[in-house]
Structure formats: C-alpha cells, structure tokens
Structure 1
C-alpha cells in the first residue's frame, strides 16, 4: 500500500504525555484523512492493515483519542436498523473545535525542477 499524502502532528498532540507514540501517529493519520471532507471514514481494518496491528489495538487507540476529546466518533446506521453503515471521525483540537480544511495543504508531494 503506497501512501499519497503526508501528515502533520500538532504540538497539542505531540506533547501530550497521556498518548503513546502510536496514538500520536494514528491521530496525525486521521487528521490527514479528514482534511478533504472534514471527517475520516477509514475503518479499523484499514488502519490495522497499514500499521500491521490488530483491529482491537486500533479500536483501543481510537477510543483513547475519543475519551481525551481529540477526536469525535459519530456512527451512521442503516435505515431502520441498529447496523452501523459508516463511522466518521472528526478531529477536535484547540478547545475541541472540529477541524476541516486544515490550514496547510495535505496533498501529494509533486516533483519540481530545482533550476
């Protein structure tokens, strides 16, 4: 799997001693993936595959980020059922204000001529 984006790790997350190194990396990935639509819809299976970790480890890390109010988790259900159709992860830092369209472009690097 080839990544086509880069991530940013805000100081508020980087310096938080309650978070493990992996939880900080996962947060930065969620932030990058949320940039386009304002939320991240990647599944735990997706993260487990790219980080070569168990789904339960990913779930635990995301739950910790939710518990610390760094991300907000919203479930969308299939019509008239309790079956989850999609999970949305919204990034909340700096007084828990949701972030959309992060102020820095999180886009694929492009090659440039350096004359």
Structure 2
C-alpha cells in the first residue's frame, strides 16, 4: 500500500523484503532501505523517494540511508539515476529502479506532476479501505505479528553482544537490559557502526586499566557513541593516560 505525504510517495503498512537479500552481507538497515524502495517499485516501477523520506519510513538518519543506497547500487541490487539542474553539477532529482527494468527517461516523473489527478488517483488512502474487512484484518494481524516479533527477535543485538564478547574476551549475556541499550542505538546507527565502536575502543582500551569500560552501557551510551565511532584507532595500545573520558 502506497500513501503520499508532502507530494512524495512512501510505503504505508507494508514493506516487502525479498528473501534473496539474505546471505548477502546486508545489515538490517540495508534490507529495510531496499524494502522501502522495492515496495514503491512494485507499484510505480520507479522510486523517487528522497533519502529523508526513506529515513522516516525506516526510522534511521538520512546519511545512513545514503550509505545503504550506495551499498545496494554497488552490489547491483538497485540502479540509480541522477538528474542535475540544467547547466550545473547540482543534483536536482534521484530515481531508483531495478537492474532488470529499463529506465525510460521520457517518462520520468517530475515534482510538478505529483499533484496531478493521475498520481492522486493511483494512491490509495486509508479512508478508502475503512469498510474493507479483509485488508483491515490483514493490517491488524501484521501489526500484532510485528509487535510479537519485535518482542522476541533480538538477532541484531545478539550479534553485537557476541561480537563484543569475542573481541574483548568478555561474557556479556543476552538479556533484556543489554538488548534495550543496543537496540536504542540501532535506531540511528548500523550494525557495522556498532562493531566499529567495539573495534576502536578495543584497540585503545583492551588489556589496559580502561579494559573494565569495555562494556555495553559505556560503549553504546547515547552521549558517547558518536565520538567513539569517529575516533582514530590507536594501534599502539600502550595503556597510557586517557583524557576527556566521562563515564
């Protein structure tokens, strides 16, 4: 189901995540970004959602979406068409489409066309389905399943805990409190980002007097993670004095 907000289409209620994405080394965020585009592609054959709009759907930052899209394009899972402002190198529009779907540049939509009856009439709205019991039942079942699944499926958090235990020789357990801390950060950062934080801090803290701070609540504290992620790795690991650490 596709809705239109602020002249820009986006998936609503459902994201279609193809099974062939499994085993390709994609993060959960990569798959969700692909799913947002793929869901729209199934309706329009082309996706013109911006990074900001996809970020709203997937609940991550726009720069995270940009990173995922570049990764998906590099893997030939998506194709990208950039349209520049006339006479400049400034990007005006960005279209996504499937590799096996030829792009007819003569039929590319323009922003001014989004409000035409053609586009309006092809966008279903919730109000149109208020009496559709089958659809409402499906949506309710989907919401219930998602709530149940989210309650029990902590595979991403478990992956981070296992990675930390392996890198830092720790024994953190798969507990709800650890899941909560990690999953809160996964709303804004990718799994690879969290692993990089672990790598960075293990490089400088492992086997030093700071070793005790190689723990989940320290590494993934909201106020600290961005700094840890952007640190240059200290390969010397000398155990020298560390400044500016506020635990």
C-alpha distance 12-108 of structure 1, shift in aligned 2 (>3 A): farther
**Unaligned segments of structure 2, at least 5 residues:** 104-123, 138-247
More helix by proportion, 1 or 2?
2
Task: Name the CA distance, whole Å, in 2 between partners of 1:11 and 1:108.
Answer: 28
What do residues 58-115 of structure 1 show as CA deviations (whole Å, max 9, x unaligned)? 11111110111000111011222212110001123xxxx1289xxxxxx77842369x
Classify the secondary structure of the residue corresponding to 2:44: coil
Paired residues of 2:36 and 2:54 also in contact (CA < 8 A): no
Matched pairs, number: 103
Is 1:112 matched with 2:133? yes
Paired residues of 1:30 and 1:89 also in contact (CA < 8 A): yes
Structure with bigger RCO (C-alpha 8 Å, 6+ apart): 1
Classify the secondary structure of the residue corresponding to 2:43: coil
Is 1:26 matched with 2:47? no
**Unaligned segments of structure 1, at least 5 residues:** 101-106
Task: Name the CA distance, whole Å, in 1 between partners of 2:96 and 2:25.
Answer: 20
CA RMSD of aligned residues (A): 2.9
Once the 2 structures are TM-superposed, how far is the Cα of residue 38 of structure 1 from its aligned partner?
1.5
Is 1:84 matched with 2:84? no
Counterpart in the other structure of 1:58:
65
